[in-house]
Structure 1
Amino acid sequence: MAQPYLRRAVYAGSFDPPTNGHLWMIREAQALFDELIVAIGVNPEKNATYTVDERKTMLRAITTNFPNVRISAFENQFLVNYAKSVGAEYIVRGIRTGSDYEYERSMRYINHDLQPNIATVLLMPPREYAEVSSTMVKGMVGPQNWQEVIRRYVPDAVYEKIMQDHLYSAR
């Protein structure tokens, strides 16, 4: 018996840490596809705050309501080639600004050159998430009342992890 056609997509990022903007993207993308692979792209040139395992744990915690989401990681390969290796026909990317659009437009053409059968799907988050980034969240940790400020930008499980790590490092 033939297996039913499965629309599989990859949504990749550093997720260091995952934000409410990432969660919005995951929520939207998982509704569009039969399976969504949320993949941590490991860049050895970047100094990550959280290990890959910590980021996987946070992503699993915030995606428990989405049975069609799988958490993964990849290193030392182009995203489009990773997508092909996991049988995905789609890459999901977010556009927050005009410069994001220009970058993603260029990457879409390069990805097509490398893997013509993989399409890029661009999602535009609502305004309240458009300025949220992992870098922004990490930059807010420290000043007075930072806990109250970042709580609005990250899911609860991520907030708890940040608080746990901050309390541990303060000792």
Structure 2
Amino acid sequence: MAFQALVVKSGTKMSIAIMMFYYAIAATSAISIIAICILVYRVAFPTILSFPWSLPSENSRKRKEERKMTVVFAGSFNPPHWGHLVMIRYLADRYGRVICCIGVNPDKKYDVTPQTRARILRNMLVGSGSGVGVGKDGTTTSCDNVRVEVVTGYIWRYARTQNASLFFRGIRTWAADGPEERKLQLLNSWGPLLLGRIWPMRTIFLEGDPKYRDVSSTRTRMICGNVRRRREGRGNSAKNDDDDELSQLVPLCVLDDIVDAYGTVA
């Protein structure tokens, strides 16, 4: 009888262990399904902030919380221009710390190196903070809480080391840039989960001010080439429409830097 009782007791413990094992599998599966649904939803229905961008009320709880947050603003900044600066000013005003990240692909050759673009962007922010880069709207929001970094590897991985809460991407409009941006969004959504075993931060797309949506890197480089040739005496030495148009694309405080960097780029 004692032996039978022991067998029954052991069998009961075994049944409980097996039941707990199946419960654990079911719970893990449920969590995985929920996580997948959340990520699919984020990709299918991206968060887009349309211009004009709003700010929480000055004394609101959300405003105070956001002033403690670090966010990442990732882009090629090729070249940095007014559209970028207006977005950075907004983020700097809304959040406690902004890190502008320029990604580097070691296998790719760049006409203008990421380090050069980072230097120009830093000069732009310094000029903006001192009032040199005053925008068309007259604003001179300080960008003292903004840092520019060149990042090799996955930017989402670097963002985690900085305790960033949100990942921002600047776009003209979702209709214009959405298809290409969705590829990066997939990488930033699934990469951390599959490669880093960490939950991905949310990506927010910032649609640009309509005044700067026509800023084209190709057009900017072409104008820089014209201005540089004129300065070197290979063209009309008088100030012309190219100078005026370029000043509408990039702040005056970095105009010469951009001409020097991009004037020889085909």
Pick aligned residue for 2:122 from 55, 60, 73: 60
Runs of 4+ in 1 over 6 A off after TM superposition: none
Unaligned runs of 5+ in 2: 1-64, 130-142, 193-198, 227-235
Structure 1 residue 164, shift from structure 2 partner: 5.2
Q: TM-score, normalised by structure 2?
A: 0.54
Give the Cα–Cα distance (whole angstroms) in 2 for the partners of residues 142 and 53 of structure 1: 21
Query: CA contact under 8 A between 2:188 and 2:200: conserved in structure 1?
Result: no
For 1:133, the equivalent position in structure 2 comes to 216
Residue-by-residue CA offset, 1:59-92 (whole Å, 9 max, x unaligned): 22222321110111112x2222222232212111
Letter in 1 for 2:88: I
Query: CA contact under 8 A between 2:120 and 2:258: conserved in structure 1?
Result: no
For 2:49, the equivalent position in structure 1 comes to none
Structure 1 residue 110, shift from structure 2 partner: 3.3
Query: CA contact under 8 A between 1:58 and 1:157: conserved in structure 2?
Result: no
SS in structure 1 at match of 2:249: coil
Query: CA contact under 8 A between 1:17 and 1:158: conserved in structure 2?
Result: no
Q: TM-score, normalised by structure 1?
A: 0.80
Query: CA contact under 8 A between 1:18 and 1:158: conserved in structure 2?
Result: no
Unaligned runs of 5+ in 1: none
Tell whether 2:162 aligns with 1:86: yes
Residue-by-residue CA offset, 1:71-118 (whole Å, 9 max, x unaligned): 11112x222222223221211112213141233344334322223341
Structure 1 residue 163, shift from structure 2 partner: 4.3
The structure, 1 or 2, with the larger RCO (C-alpha pairs under 8 Å, 6+ apart) is 1
**Higher Cα Rg: structure 1 or 2?**
2
Aligned-residue CA RMSD (Å) = 2.6
More strand by share: 1
More helix by share: 2
1:3-18 matches, within 5 Å, as 6-18=68-80
For 1:36, the equivalent position in structure 2 comes to 98
Q: Matched residue pairs, number?
A: 163
Residue-by-residue CA offset, 1:122-147 (whole Å, 9 max, x unaligned): 11112111121333311222346322
